[in-house]
Amino acid sequence: LSQEEKIDLLCGTFVQVLQSLLEKRMKLADNQRDMIVMQHQFTYKIDQQIYQTTSSLVQIGKPQYQTAMAKTVGLPLAIATSLLLEEKIHLTGLHIPTHPAIYKPALARLAQMEVVFQEETTLIQM
């Protein structure tokens, strides 16, 4: 990105040019895989007791185009689109995916594809 280089696009937006450059430089070798590791920790109080829930996701991609990044970024969008086209989401307007009508069926489908967070809850203080 900081050197002069011929772009292999006849025309394109800035984002398409950037994508083309990044794909060349960040391409995985045939025998390489990527990995996604995500962890969320929540500390909360219920009835004077303090709990901590840890939610973890580990995804390991397959060589070449079946990457963990593609699976964890592309699948949720594809699932949401599918749910809309199947008329299984009955919301109108703009919504973020924290609405139960979106995330509950989306997480169920992701689980079928082995994209699942593992959760553990511990009591920290009584």
Nearest to 34 by CA among 13, 10, 59: 59
Higher pLDDT, 23 or 74: 74
Task: Answer whether residue 24 shows pLDDT above 60.
Answer: yes
List the strands of the sheet with 35-46, edge to edge: 35-46, 49-60, 118-125
The length of the chain, given as a count of residues: 126
- Which of 23-27, 53-57, 59-63 reaches the highest mean pLDDT? 53-57
pLDDT at 21: 83
pLDDT at 59: 97
pTM of the predicted protein model: 0.73
Identify whether the C-beta of residue 80 lies closer than 8 Å to the C-beta of residue 89: yes
Of 6-20, 70-84, 106-120, which gets the smallest average pLDDT? 6-20
Q: Could you report how far apart the first and last alpha carbons of the chain are, in Å?
A: 54
